[in-house]
């Protein structure tokens, strides 16, 4: 579904990523692990056309995505839930959701998606008329994910969804990710919460200083001494 090959990317002339390659197969959850500054956000932004690509190739649904503008990629079904959520704080919950569906031309489809996301996150129906900026951190993350789903994504990217959340709130997001994936939507998730993500993902890439240093099945990496020592404190 999504393939990155030999990607060099960054901001302006500054290169953050060096020859990065990864694959997100249809129907799978792929995790991107790494410390702050490793380049996780840059990689997701480069995939979505929001960072400068200096070399390599990005393919989505069998077509090149390397030179396509972000709005075209959203319309094609490649959708990012950004770090920090970036909601429209002065707009209501319902208005944020409607903004998420701006690429959907048919009203009937938008209504179907709205019902879908409100079933996934019932609290958003209760908070429909509340300003997004007044929601709790967990509710804001639910809204950010729901807003992305309004565009009927074919592949969903999430950047640090646990940021600023309590373990309980992040657990709600994890449950939602599983339900979204069960509908056949592949997911690429960048995270630092290694324990939770290793239990969630099918396959894992570890990014260090802009390079993929380790990859493998999540179940295998759970027992890898390098992961246990560097990320789980079990060296």
Number of structural domains found in the chain: 1
Residue 193 lies in a domain: yes
Residue 20 lies in a domain: yes
Residue 70 lies in a domain: yes
CATH number at residue 210: 3.40.50.300
Residue 99 lies in a domain: no
Residue 149 lies in a domain: no
User: CA–CA separation, 67 vs 83, rounded Å?
Assistant: 23
Q: How many CB atoms lie within 10 A of CB 129?
A: 9
Averaged pLDDT for residues 144-167: 94
> Which tokens sit at 77?
């079904």
Q: Is the pLDDT of residue 234 over 50?
A: no
Side-chain-side CA neighbours of residue 155 (13 Å): 24
Domain of residue 54 covers 2-85+154-230
Q: Is the pLDDT of residue 185 over 70?
A: yes
pLDDT > 90 fraction of the chain, expressed in percent and rounded: 74
> Which tokens sit at 37?
């500054």
- pLDDT, tens only, 93-109: 999 999 988 776 566 56
| Rounded alpha-carbon distances, angstroms, from residue 128 to 106, 112, 142, 145 | 21, 16, 13, 15
- pLDDT, tens only, 35-54: 889 999 999 999 999 999 99
Q: Is the pLDDT of residue 61 over 70?
A: yes
Residue 194 lies in a domain: yes
Q: Is the pLDDT of residue 195 over 80?
A: yes
Averaged pLDDT for residues 54-74: 92
């Amino acid at each position: 579904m999504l393939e990155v090959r030999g990607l060099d990317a960054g901001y302006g002339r500054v290169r953050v990523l060096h020859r990065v390659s990864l694959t997100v197969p249809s129907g799978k959850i792929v995790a991107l692990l790494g410390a702050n500054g490793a380049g996780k956000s840059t990689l997701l932004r480069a995939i979505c056309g929001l960072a400068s690509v200096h070399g390599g190739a990005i393919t989505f649904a069998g077509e090149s995505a390397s030179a396509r503008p972000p709005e075209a990629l959203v319309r094609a079904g490649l959708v990012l839930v950004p770090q920090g959520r970036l909601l429209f704080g002065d707009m209501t919950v319902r208005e944020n959701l409607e903004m998420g569906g701006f690429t959907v031309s048919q009203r009937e489809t938008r209504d179907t998606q709205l019902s879908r996301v409100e079933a996934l996150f019932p609290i958003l129906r209760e908070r429909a008329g509340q300003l997004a900026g007044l929601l709790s951190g967990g509710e804001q993350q639910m809204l950010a994910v729901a807003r992305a789903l309004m565009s009927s994504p074919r592949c969903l990217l999430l950047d640090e969804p646990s940021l600023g959340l309590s373990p309980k709130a992040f657990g709600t997001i994890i449950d939602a990710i599983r339900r979204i994936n069960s509908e056949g939507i592949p997911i690429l998730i960048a995270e630092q919460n290694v324990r939770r993500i290793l239990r969630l993902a099918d396959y894992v890439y570890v990014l260090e200083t802009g390079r993929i240093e380790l990859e493998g099945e999540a179940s295998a990496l759970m027992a890898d001494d390098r992961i246990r020592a560097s990320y789980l404190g079990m060296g």
